[in-house]
A = this chain, B = another copy of it.
Amino acid sequence: MAATRATLVHVASLAGVSVASASRALNGMVASPETVAKVRAAAASLGYVPDATARSLKLGHSLQLAFAVDDVGNPVYVEMMRAIETVVSRSGYRLLVSSTGAGPTDAVDLVRSLSRGYADGLVISPLRVTSELVSELQRAAVPVVVVGSLPAEVRLDTVQTNSAHGVGLAVAHLIETGRRRIGFVNGPLDTTPGSARQRGFEGAYAAVGLQADVHEVQQVAKDFTVAAGRTAALELLDRHRAGSGAVMLDAIIAANDLLAFGVIHAVLELGLRVPQDVAVVGMDDTELASVFNPGLTSVSLGSAARGRHAAELLLARLTDPQLPASRIVVQPRLVVRGSTDIAATHDGSRR
């Protein structure tokens, strides 16, 4: 219908007032009741929608915040996003989510364009932290909070978790429950989580004094997805098949829950049982972990808590840009379910 979108000028002229009065009437500033009525009527009949671009150019802010993530397909980011949304919406901000897909150039690109005008602030959780990305984040025209690790010298608000320690919790749990031949399916090593978890695994492996060559029991998946987890697990298990010289694994730790689901699938495909033949531990403790069959033992990295902290940090900096950069660390926590403990199947509710 509206062949040409109506502007405030049109509304004002149709209402027979000046644009200033129209603006005031629409925004609830001082104006006589009859002016308000006329302007409202004119706006309605024209289907007037204020131009957000012009508005924020004038006002200097957009009341929008952005959350940039490499893979929205990962439930962990959904949980984080929900937490962020909850916090920022309380302060009147709208949250925009932007998936940068893969590739560090995309993230840089995104930060550059998003960081001036479209959003008043940014929470970013990058899989890969390149020096280019870091310098882009530092020069961003709006406040940025990073969820994840950054080089120590970078002075930016960050929220992180100790995922290396998280892997340690998983190893300790498996050792306690009698496993000794523990494999590890990781995500790409050039990602921040991938490298941290590798450090954690190798550290824990050495600490408990396991026999096998630590490199023999690791397998790197091509990304952090279910399909990649399945493929990696099949390769890893194949290397450890009876008769291949290496010992069969009795447990596998996956770098996140999606990989773990793929791992379980692979184990079952091979006709092995979980947890009796191979125990499996995931990381992130996403919602599906408790519903999967068997329930997935997982290391919670507090994704909701990290999201909440990140949002609060961003809001704080928005109100006071002079604040010193802060770093919040959320500690991991192990949640035991059926994939490592047969008695825990179905949360013990089986009768």
Q: Could you list which residues of chain A lie within 8 angstroms of chain B, going by C-beta atoms? A: 1-2, 5, 47, 49-57, 62, 64, 72-73, 75, 78, 81-82, 85-86, 89, 94-99, 101-105, 110, 112-118, 138-141, 226-227, 230, 261-262, 264-265, 268-269, 271, 287-288, 291-294, 346, 349-351
Contact = CB atoms under 8 A, between A and B. Distances in A.
A64 B62 CA distance: 15
7 contacts: A53-B53, A73-B75, A97-B99, A226-B288, A261-B291, A271-B350, A288-B288
A351 to B, nearest CB: 6
A33 B246 CA distance: 64
A71 to B, nearest CB: 9
Given A97-B98, A261-B288, A269 B55 contact: no
A291 B271 contact: no
A52 B103 contact: no
A293 B292 contact: yes
A105 B65 CA distance: 14
A102 B85 contact: yes
Given A72-B97, A226-B291, A102 B82 contact: yes
A145 to B, nearest CB: 18
Copies of this chain, whole number: 2
A157 to B, nearest CB: 16
Contact of A350 (B47, B115, B138, B269): B269
Nearest to A351: B271
B271 A293 contact: no
A230 to B, nearest CB: 7
Contacts of A2: 139, 141
Contacts of A261: 288, 291
A49 B138 CA distance: 12
Contacts of A98: 94-97
Given A75-B73, A94-B105, A53 B99 contact: no
B269 A291 contact: no
Contacts of A262: 291
A140 B1 CA distance: 10
B265 A49 contact: no
B54 A117 contact: yes
Give the residue among A64, A94, A105, A262 with the most B Cβ atoms within 10 A: A94
A141 B226 contact: no
Nearest to A62: B53
A114 B110 CA distance: 19
A-B pairs with lowest CB-CB distance, top 8: A52-B117, A53-B117, A89-B103, A97-B97, A47-B139, A49-B116, A53-B57, A85-B102
Given A57-B54, A94-B113, A97-B98, A349 B269 contact: yes
Contacts of A55: 117
Contacts of A117: 51-56
B293 A268 contact: yes
A245 to B, nearest CB: 22
